[in-house]
Amino acid sequence: MWAIGDTFLADLDVGQSAKVIGIGGKRLQRMKLLDMGLTPDTHLEVKRLAPMGDPIEVALRGYVLSLRRDEAKLVRVEVDAS
């Protein structure tokens, strides 16, 4: 499973880019996120956060996706070095 120190999509700030490493959660949650394009090795960038931090707007695969913070906490990422 996940280890201490892992980074998740919900941890990223606006403007940060990352690569999807894995998806956690229950089977239906994983399938939903995978169907939305959050598959391993997909590069993404956090575009905006709502004023209260939920939802999170992410650009990937040529479109923009809005995710609830609870969903973003299931997406393990590797932050791009810049």
Residue 34 CA, chain-centre distance (Å), reads 11
Highest-pLDDT range among 1-5, 25-29, 51-55: 25-29
**CATH classification of the domain holding 37:** 2.30.30.90
Counted domains in the chain:
1
Tens of pLDDT along 36-49? 999 999 999 999 99
Q: pTM for the whole thing?
A: 0.86
Question: How far, in Å, CA of 34 to CA of 52, rounded?
Answer: 26
Domain that holds residue 65: 7-79
Question: How far, in Å, CA of 12 to CA of 70, rounded?
Answer: 14
Which residues have a Cβ under 8 Å from the Cβ of 9 and sit 6 or more positions away? 18, 44, 46, 56, 58, 67, 72, 73, 75, 77
Question: How far, in Å, CA of 76 to CA of 79, rounded?
Answer: 10
Residue 13 falls within a domain, yes or no? yes
